[in-house]
């Protein structure tokens, strides 16, 4: 399996997606990254990657809008061709996602549909739209959460939407194995980003409580997730597929 040359990272206007795009670029991968509302953040991610000596382009994508995926695939392949003369994607990182921290009595059908429609349905159909453009020997990484293994209050819908992602990742590893495509999920533990209103970054009491629940004694930084994803798609991991890699510093063991 050769070194990956091109990647698409969804939701890279900030947070774990930005860190993943940067980590891949540091490994010499040319990165197409997506944003939904955060155009300025996406520009900032591209600028940072270029300052670090890498190459990146930003494209708009709403993974809740599956009707737009065909057009997005055309835009993406056009951009890869024009910018890098590349006709295939080597790596697809499905990182874009949204959280919900409501207990049973507060979950509304609208919020349920938004979380499941983004994290599960959107991710699934984006893969369906992009797999024809993925090189044989390519890699798919689906970002899940440590919450599929342990419980935290108010996360039933969010965790279930990510458990679905882990489940279909296994099936896709089997379906796409004949093309040499590896499919794995990465399950981050609590990480300091805007996620959940920035609580893991900005609420010292919550951060301390979560830190005490990890073997390594702190919450994770975005770079620690990005570096793990970049390592997972490297040729050194060529025999690893259908795995769930938890990157949580040993949360709630």
> Is 11:35 a contact under the CB 8 Å cutoff?
yes
> In this complex, which beta carbon is closest to ligand NAP, that of residue 135 or of residue 183?
183
3-state secondary structure 159-206: HHHHHHHHHHHHHHHHHHHHHCCEEEEEEECCECCCHHHHHHHHCHHH
**Closest to ligand NAP by CB, 131 or 247:** 247
Please indicate whether residue 124 is annotated as part of the active site.
Answer: no
Out of 22, 36, 139, 149, the only residue in the binding site for ligand NAP (CB under 6 A) is 36
Shortest CB 106 distance to ligand NAP, Å: 19
How far, in Å, CA of 22 to CA of 223, rounded? 9
In the beta sheet, which residues pair with residue 31?
A: 7, 56
- Report if residue 98 touches ligand NAP, rule: CB under 6 A: yes
Is residue 190 close enough to count as binding ligand NAP by CB under 6 A? Answer: yes
Structure tokens, 238: 């060529």
> Binding to ligand NAP by residue 4, rule CB under 6 A?
no
Q: What's the maximum distance between 2 C-alpha atoms anywhere in the chain?
A: 52
Which one of the listed residues 69, 120, 158, 168 is annotated catalytic? 158
Shorter beta-carbon distance to ligand NAP: residue 6 or 118: 118
Q: Which of residues 138 and 188 has its CB atom nearest to ligand NAP in the complex?
A: 188
Q: Does 20 bind ligand NAP (CB under 6 A)?
A: no
Q: Which residues are catalytic?
A: 158
């Amino acid at each position: 399996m050769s070194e990956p040359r091109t990647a698409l990272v969804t939701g890279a206007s900030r947070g774990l997606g930005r860190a993943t795009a940067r980590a891949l670029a540091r490994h010499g991968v040319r990165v197409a990254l997506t944003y939904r509302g955060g155009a300025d953040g996406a520009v900032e991610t591209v600028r940072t990657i270029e300052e670090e000596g890498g190459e990146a382009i930003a494209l708009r994508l709403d993974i809740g809008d599956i009707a737009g995926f065909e057009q997005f695939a055309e835009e993406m392949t056009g951009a890869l061709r024009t910018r890098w003369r590349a006709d295939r994607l080597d790596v697809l990182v499905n990182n874009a996602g949204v959280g919900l921290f409501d207990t049973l009595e507060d979950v509304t059908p609208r919020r349920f549909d938004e979380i499941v429609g983004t994290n599960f349905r959107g991710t699934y159909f984006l893969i369906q739209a992009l797999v024809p453009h993925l090189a044989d020997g390519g890699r798919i990484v689906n970002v899940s959460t440590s919450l599929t293994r342990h419980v935290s209050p108010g996360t039933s819908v969010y965790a279930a939407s990510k458990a679905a992602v882990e489940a279909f990742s296994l099936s896709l590893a089997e379906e796409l194995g004949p093309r040499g495509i590896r499919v794995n999920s990465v399950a981050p533990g609590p990480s300091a980003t805007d996620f959940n209103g920035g609580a893991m970054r900005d609420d010292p009491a919550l951060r301390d409580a979560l830190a005490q629940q990890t073997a390594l004694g702190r919450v994770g930084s975005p770079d620690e997730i990005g570096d793990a994803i970049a390592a997972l798609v490297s040729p050194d991991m060529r025999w690893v597929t259908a795995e769930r890699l938890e990157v949580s510093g040993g949360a709630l063991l």
